Chain A
Amino acid sequence: MSEQQLFKVTIDNITIEVPAGTTILNAARKIGGDVAPPAMCYYSKLEGSGGKCRTCLVEVSKGSEKDPRPMPKLVASCRTTIMDGMEVKNITSEKVLDARAGVVEFLLINHPLDCPICDQAGECHLQDLSYEHGSESTRYEFQRRTFKKHDLGPHIQLHMTRCILCYRCVFTADQLTQKREHGVLDRGDHAEIATFIEKSLDNDFIGNVIDVCPVGALTDKTFRFKNRVWFLKPMDAHRDCPTCSGRVTLWNRGDEVYRVTARKDEWGEIEDTPEGKPGWICNTCRFEKKKTSDWIIEGPRNINRHSVIAQGHYAGKIGTNKPTETFAAVNDGRKPHLLMDIHSVSQVNKPEVKLSLIDGPAHSDAFKKNND
């Protein structure tokens, strides 16, 4: 084959030409915006992912130029490849929106809805999805399922009740690390992510399961309960890491590094490095480098303004400027007569309590020590 064949596909009345073999989802993502169906389990950087959550269902109203019959049922766009002249309806189809609302209801049936506690809140795909497609209340009247707690080691916290069984973490562990130690055990309603014999996951790249998790099932223990993501300032930074690309997003509060994650693109997936490889980051970068001096900061990250994380977040030059005391500058060098240092009154954000350097979540003793 000298030249890749281009197929014409129309998604929500927008026509685009994509190479043969592209899935509908990826074609829609090329158009971008609302046309791209939401995806909870599909992850373009992971081979074999997709086809499990059914949130990306679309209607194919015309199969192809040669066979214009519509597909009888809604199809999962992450697993269906396009045909020449295919016509796809996503948000323009009543059927799709109705089906998606149903899928969201199913995904939320056993979800504990503990967003106020969950560290993923604010960057959770399930939250976004249910805001867009979900209903206000539940019709489910039974006890939500619960699980025996599994300890996944010192860095990763598993909340099985929040899991939607997208298998992304299983694929990550399979494809990124030499040996996978966790998988999905049991069947049906009882299916759960667990390590085989409660083994801790200690692979150099296992921290990436936190980034691929679309919900708050796998979260960073070193960041657990430290702060809410929308009060943190995402900064692009890099360091010379021998094992990984070292290109990360720091989640700062002031100059404290609260959390380190990989850089994510507009679909919530790991960004590629300039060499074109997925920018997975290693555990050392993610869990152990919690000092500003470890990193070379590039500048504030651009955040979509519709995200709650964009509140109080300034990109560009303004974002890197530090506030200074302006009183003397505008009053010919005079100092204010009365100046209240907020730290002399406030118990919050004490300079001597470095939350970011505490290993796990803070407990009452972390605050008692400095109680005055």
Chain B
Amino acid sequence: MQALTNRVKEVNRKPMSFMEKLYLPAIFKGMAITFSHIFKKKPTIQYPEQKREFSPVFRGLHVLNRDEEGRERCTACGLCAVACPAEAITMEAAERLPGEEHLYREEKYAARYEINMLRCIFCGLCEEACPKDAVYLSETFAPANYTRKGFVYGKEDLLIPNPKTDPQGLAEARGQHI
């Protein structure tokens, strides 16, 4: 039969010699390889205690950003939602009332902002589309959940802790995964 590739190897069908029939040398040879691995560097880590550094371009769970004064940056312009290839992002906008200036940066804001993490493919296009530096993909995963309901992330799940009222929370959130 004609070989399909040029990597074909003929199987050696010669009868085994006396040394090969003993089997033991071959077993010791194999065990030596196994034992030598004990002294080699381990490729695994002890996960919850030890964590591996993420690549700087890692795209994980989304966060909604606030500015230095703790105001929400998102203005519900809808560019992330229109850029999203998985149609995971939905939002509803509202007008800022007088007296809410400390909460929202611009006169329009996202009253509701949701990302369906089941739909999200973590491509990062929302981050790229955002004209207000409001949405970022962080260096963390979406935690596992028993039901699908737990994967629809609202604004309260996405917003970063307020640097004015909760500086400690913000530091913790940063320290956890940086």
> Which residues on A are within 8 Å of B, measured CB to CB?
114-117, 121, 224-228, 230-231, 308, 311, 340, 342, 344-349, 355, 360-364, 366-367
Contact = CB atoms under 8 A, between A and B. Distances in A.
B131 interface: yes
B152 A227 contact: no
Contact of A345 (B94, B108, B132, B149): B149
A246 to B, nearest CB: 30
Given A344-B149, A346-B152, A348-B114, A362 B77 contact: no
B78 A231 contact: yes
A366 B94 contact: yes
Given A224-B95, A347-B154, A361-B95, 4 more contacts: A114-B106, A115-B77, A116-B106, A363-B94
Interface in B74-89: 75-79, 81-82
Contacts of B106: 114, 116-117
Interface of B: 75-79, 81-82, 90-95, 97, 100, 106-108, 111-114, 116, 131-132, 148-149, 152, 154
B80 to A, nearest CB: 11
Contacts of B152: 342, 345-346
A235 to B, nearest CB: 20
B94 A367 contact: yes
Contact of B92 (A116, A311, A342, A367): A367
A117 B132 CA distance: 11
B133 to A, nearest CB: 11
B24 to A, nearest CB: 57
Contacts of A226: 93
Nearest to B132: A116
21 contacts: A115-B77, A116-B79, A117-B75, A225-B76, A226-B93, A227-B93, A228-B77, A228-B82, A231-B78, A231-B82, A308-B82, A345-B152, A347-B112, A348-B91, A361-B94, A361-B108, A362-B93, A362-B94, A364-B94, A364-B97, A367-B92
B149 A340 contact: yes
Contact of B112 (A121, A308, A344, A348): A348
A225 B94 contact: yes
A355 B92 contact: yes
Contacts of B100: 364
A161 to B, nearest CB: 12
B154 A225 contact: no
A62 to B, nearest CB: 45
B90 A349 contact: yes
B108 A362 contact: no
Contacts of B108: 117, 225, 361
A360 B154 CA distance: 25
Given A346-B90, A355-B92, A367-B112, A117 B97 contact: no
A148 to B, nearest CB: 16
Contact of A340 (B82, B94, B95, B148): B148
Contacts of A224: 95
Contact of B77 (A121, A345, A361, A363): A121
Contacts of B116: 346
